[in-house]
Amino acid sequence: MRLILLGAPGAGKGTVAKLLTKMDGSVQISTGDILRAAVKAGTELGKKAEAAMTAGELVSDDLIMGIMGERLLEDDCKAGFLLDGFPRTIPQAEALKVLLEKLGIELDAAVNLNVPRDVILDRLTTRRTCTDCGAIYNVKSNPPKQEGVCDACGGSVVQRDDETEEAISKRLDVFNEQTAPLVGFYEGEGMLLDINATSSDVVVDAIKAKIGA
Ligand code: ADP
Ligand code: ZN
Protein backbone atom coordinates (compact mmCIF):
# COMPACT_ATOMS: atom_id res chain seq x y z
CA MET A 1 0.00 0.00 0.00
CA ARG A 2 1.04 3.60 -0.54
CA LEU A 3 -0.28 6.03 2.02
CA ILE A 4 0.31 9.43 3.47
CA LEU A 5 -0.36 9.58 7.21
CA LEU A 6 -1.52 12.99 8.37
CA GLY A 7 -2.18 14.06 11.93
CA ALA A 8 -0.91 16.17 14.79
CA PRO A 9 2.21 15.21 16.73
CA GLY A 10 1.07 12.37 18.99
CA ALA A 11 -1.86 11.39 16.77
CA GLY A 12 -0.32 7.95 16.33
CA LYS A 13 1.17 8.13 12.83
CA GLY A 14 4.24 6.14 13.85
CA THR A 15 2.28 3.51 15.77
CA VAL A 16 -0.19 3.00 12.93
CA ALA A 17 2.62 2.90 10.35
CA LYS A 18 4.40 0.17 12.32
CA LEU A 19 1.19 -1.91 12.47
CA LEU A 20 0.59 -1.47 8.73
CA THR A 21 4.13 -2.49 7.69
CA LYS A 22 3.44 -5.90 9.22
CA MET A 23 0.52 -6.42 6.82
CA ASP A 24 2.19 -6.30 3.42
CA GLY A 25 5.87 -5.41 3.71
CA SER A 26 5.40 -1.72 2.96
CA VAL A 27 8.13 0.42 4.50
CA GLN A 28 7.53 3.16 7.04
CA ILE A 29 9.30 6.35 6.03
CA SER A 30 9.42 8.77 8.95
CA THR A 31 11.11 12.08 8.18
CA GLY A 32 11.37 12.66 11.95
CA ASP A 33 13.30 9.37 12.40
CA ILE A 34 15.56 10.15 9.42
CA LEU A 35 16.32 13.60 10.84
CA ARG A 36 16.90 12.35 14.41
CA ALA A 37 19.32 9.70 13.09
CA ALA A 38 21.19 12.43 11.17
CA VAL A 39 21.41 14.63 14.27
CA LYS A 40 22.68 11.71 16.34
CA ALA A 41 25.30 10.80 13.72
CA GLY A 42 26.38 14.45 13.45
CA THR A 43 26.06 14.56 9.63
CA GLU A 44 25.78 17.78 7.59
CA LEU A 45 22.04 17.17 7.33
CA GLY A 46 21.82 16.72 11.10
CA LYS A 47 23.66 19.98 11.74
CA LYS A 48 21.27 21.85 9.45
CA ALA A 49 18.16 20.34 11.04
CA GLU A 50 19.00 20.28 14.74
CA ALA A 51 18.15 23.84 15.86
CA ALA A 52 14.73 23.88 14.20
CA MET A 53 13.88 20.44 15.58
CA THR A 54 14.80 21.24 19.17
CA ALA A 55 12.70 24.41 19.01
CA GLY A 56 9.71 22.45 17.65
CA GLU A 57 9.84 24.27 14.31
CA LEU A 58 9.93 22.73 10.85
CA VAL A 59 13.14 22.22 8.91
CA SER A 60 13.16 23.75 5.43
CA ASP A 61 11.08 22.34 2.59
CA ASP A 62 14.21 22.15 0.40
CA LEU A 63 16.04 20.00 2.90
CA ILE A 64 13.05 17.67 3.29
CA MET A 65 12.44 17.37 -0.46
CA GLY A 66 16.12 16.54 -0.94
CA ILE A 67 15.83 13.69 1.56
CA MET A 68 12.52 12.36 0.23
CA GLY A 69 13.46 12.67 -3.44
CA GLU A 70 16.26 10.18 -2.76
CA ARG A 71 14.43 8.01 -0.25
CA LEU A 72 11.50 7.25 -2.56
CA LEU A 73 13.89 5.94 -5.21
CA GLU A 74 15.27 3.24 -2.93
CA ASP A 75 14.44 -0.36 -3.75
CA ASP A 76 12.45 -1.15 -0.60
CA CYS A 77 9.80 1.42 -1.63
CA LYS A 78 8.70 -0.87 -4.47
CA ALA A 79 6.77 -2.97 -1.92
CA GLY A 80 4.82 0.14 -0.90
CA PHE A 81 5.40 2.91 1.64
CA LEU A 82 3.77 4.74 4.52
CA LEU A 83 4.75 8.37 4.72
CA ASP A 84 4.87 9.35 8.39
CA GLY A 85 5.48 13.04 9.02
CA PHE A 86 5.73 13.99 5.36
CA PRO A 87 4.42 16.06 3.65
CA ARG A 88 3.98 18.65 6.37
CA THR A 89 3.45 21.87 4.41
CA ILE A 90 1.52 22.75 1.26
CA PRO A 91 4.75 23.31 -0.73
CA GLN A 92 5.94 19.81 0.30
CA ALA A 93 2.58 18.33 -0.76
CA GLU A 94 2.81 20.07 -4.13
CA ALA A 95 6.41 18.97 -4.65
CA LEU A 96 5.49 15.39 -3.71
CA LYS A 97 2.66 15.39 -6.24
CA VAL A 98 5.08 16.41 -9.02
CA LEU A 99 7.65 13.85 -7.88
CA LEU A 100 5.13 10.96 -7.81
CA GLU A 101 3.75 11.90 -11.23
CA LYS A 102 7.31 11.83 -12.58
CA LEU A 103 7.90 8.40 -11.03
CA GLY A 104 4.51 7.10 -12.22
CA ILE A 105 3.44 6.24 -8.68
CA GLU A 106 -0.14 6.55 -7.43
CA LEU A 107 -1.09 6.82 -3.77
CA ASP A 108 -3.97 4.85 -2.24
CA ALA A 109 -5.01 7.60 0.17
CA ALA A 110 -4.01 10.40 2.50
CA VAL A 111 -5.20 9.27 5.91
CA ASN A 112 -6.01 11.94 8.47
CA LEU A 113 -5.77 10.75 12.07
CA ASN A 114 -8.10 12.95 14.12
CA VAL A 115 -7.40 13.01 17.85
CA PRO A 116 -8.71 15.56 20.41
CA ARG A 117 -6.15 18.08 21.67
CA ASP A 118 -6.30 16.97 25.33
CA VAL A 119 -5.53 13.36 24.34
CA ILE A 120 -2.61 14.60 22.21
CA LEU A 121 -1.13 16.64 25.06
CA ASP A 122 -1.39 13.76 27.48
CA ARG A 123 0.21 11.33 25.01
CA LEU A 124 3.12 13.60 24.16
CA THR A 125 4.11 14.38 27.72
CA THR A 126 4.08 10.67 28.65
CA ARG A 127 5.73 9.42 25.43
CA ARG A 128 9.23 7.96 25.47
CA THR A 129 11.32 6.98 22.42
CA CYS A 130 14.22 4.56 21.86
CA THR A 131 17.22 6.56 20.63
CA ASP A 132 18.49 3.52 18.70
CA CYS A 133 15.52 1.96 16.89
CA GLY A 134 12.77 4.58 17.28
CA ALA A 135 10.42 2.24 19.19
CA ILE A 136 7.72 4.23 20.99
CA TYR A 137 6.72 3.70 24.62
CA ASN A 138 4.42 5.42 27.08
CA VAL A 139 5.25 5.72 30.78
CA LYS A 140 1.59 5.17 31.70
CA SER A 141 0.13 2.77 29.16
CA ASN A 142 3.11 0.97 27.62
CA PRO A 143 6.36 1.26 29.60
CA PRO A 144 9.44 -0.79 28.61
CA LYS A 145 9.92 -3.88 30.83
CA GLN A 146 13.01 -2.32 32.37
CA GLU A 147 12.83 1.42 32.92
CA GLY A 148 14.84 3.35 30.31
CA VAL A 149 15.81 0.23 28.30
CA CYS A 150 14.26 -0.69 24.92
CA ASP A 151 12.54 -4.11 24.86
CA ALA A 152 13.28 -4.45 21.15
CA CYS A 153 16.97 -3.51 20.93
CA GLY A 154 18.35 -2.72 24.39
CA GLY A 155 18.89 0.94 23.43
CA SER A 156 18.07 3.79 25.78
CA VAL A 157 14.48 4.96 26.06
CA VAL A 158 14.24 8.69 26.74
CA GLN A 159 12.00 11.72 26.46
CA ARG A 160 12.81 13.48 23.18
CA ASP A 161 14.44 16.94 23.32
CA ASP A 162 11.38 18.36 21.58
CA GLU A 163 9.00 16.85 24.14
CA THR A 164 9.34 19.53 26.76
CA GLU A 165 6.07 21.33 27.44
CA GLU A 166 7.28 24.43 25.62
CA ALA A 167 8.40 22.59 22.48
CA ILE A 168 5.22 20.50 22.44
CA SER A 169 3.00 23.57 22.48
CA LYS A 170 5.16 25.09 19.70
CA ARG A 171 4.86 21.89 17.63
CA LEU A 172 1.08 21.92 18.00
CA ASP A 173 0.92 25.57 16.87
CA VAL A 174 3.16 24.81 13.89
CA PHE A 175 0.93 21.85 13.07
CA ASN A 176 -2.24 23.95 13.15
CA GLU A 177 -0.71 26.68 10.98
CA GLN A 178 1.32 24.73 8.44
CA THR A 179 0.18 21.09 8.36
CA ALA A 180 -3.57 21.15 9.12
CA PRO A 181 -4.24 22.81 5.70
CA LEU A 182 -3.08 19.57 4.04
CA VAL A 183 -6.41 17.99 4.98
CA GLY A 184 -8.14 20.43 2.61
CA PHE A 185 -5.46 19.88 -0.02
CA TYR A 186 -5.97 16.10 -0.10
CA GLU A 187 -9.72 16.45 0.10
CA GLY A 188 -9.45 18.53 -3.07
CA GLU A 189 -7.36 15.77 -4.65
CA GLY A 190 -10.12 13.26 -3.80
CA MET A 191 -7.65 11.26 -1.69
CA LEU A 192 -8.67 12.01 1.88
CA LEU A 193 -9.62 9.32 4.38
CA ASP A 194 -10.60 11.03 7.62
CA ILE A 195 -10.56 8.78 10.70
CA ASN A 196 -11.42 9.27 14.35
CA ALA A 197 -8.09 7.99 15.61
CA THR A 198 -8.36 7.63 19.36
CA SER A 199 -7.62 3.87 18.97
CA SER A 200 -4.94 2.64 16.56
CA ASP A 201 -6.79 -0.67 15.92
CA VAL A 202 -9.80 1.26 14.66
CA VAL A 203 -7.50 3.19 12.34
CA VAL A 204 -5.90 0.06 10.92
CA ASP A 205 -9.34 -1.52 10.28
CA ALA A 206 -10.60 1.63 8.53
CA ILE A 207 -7.52 1.69 6.30
CA LYS A 208 -7.89 -2.00 5.44
CA ALA A 209 -11.52 -1.42 4.48
CA LYS A 210 -10.57 1.56 2.31
CA ILE A 211 -7.81 -0.14 0.33
CA GLY A 212 -9.54 -3.51 0.23
CA ALA A 213 -6.82 -5.39 2.11
P1 ADP B 1 6.02 14.54 15.57
O2 ADP B 1 5.97 13.69 16.77
O3 ADP B 1 5.90 16.00 15.86
O4 ADP B 1 5.12 14.07 14.49
P5 ADP B 1 8.38 13.90 13.99
O6 ADP B 1 9.18 12.85 14.60
O7 ADP B 1 7.57 13.59 12.79
O8 ADP B 1 7.50 14.53 15.15
O9 ADP B 1 9.32 15.16 13.62
C10 ADP B 1 10.17 15.77 14.56
C11 ADP B 1 10.70 17.09 14.01
O12 ADP B 1 11.42 16.88 12.78
C13 ADP B 1 9.64 18.12 13.64
O14 ADP B 1 9.22 18.87 14.75
C15 ADP B 1 10.39 18.96 12.61
O16 ADP B 1 11.32 19.84 13.20
C17 ADP B 1 11.19 17.93 11.85
N18 ADP B 1 10.45 17.39 10.68
C19 ADP B 1 10.01 16.11 10.51
N20 ADP B 1 9.38 15.95 9.33
C21 ADP B 1 9.39 17.17 8.74
C22 ADP B 1 8.88 17.68 7.51
N23 ADP B 1 8.22 16.89 6.63
N24 ADP B 1 9.07 18.99 7.23
C25 ADP B 1 9.73 19.80 8.07
N26 ADP B 1 10.23 19.39 9.26
C27 ADP B 1 10.08 18.09 9.59
ZN1 ZN C 1 15.18 0.23 20.50
Report the Cα–Cα distance between both ends of the chain, in Å, rounded.
9
Topology annotation, domain 2-26+79-211: Rossmann fold (3.40.50)
The Cα–Cα gap between 19 and 200 comes to 9
The Cα–Cα gap between 101 and 118 comes to 38
Report the predicted TM-score, pTM, of the whole model to 2 decimal places.
0.88
94-127 pLDDT, tens per residue?
Answer: 999 999 999 999 999 999 999 998 889 888 899 9
17-61 pLDDT, tens per residue?
Answer: 999 999 889 999 999 999 999 999 999 999 999 999 998 899 999
What are the distances in angstroms from CA 203 to CA 106, 129, 157, 194, 212? 21, 22, 26, 10, 14
Ligand 1 binding pocket (C-beta < 6 A) is 9, 31-32, 35, 52-53, 56-59, 64, 85-86, 88, 92, 162, 171
The Cα–Cα gap between 95 and 56 comes to 23
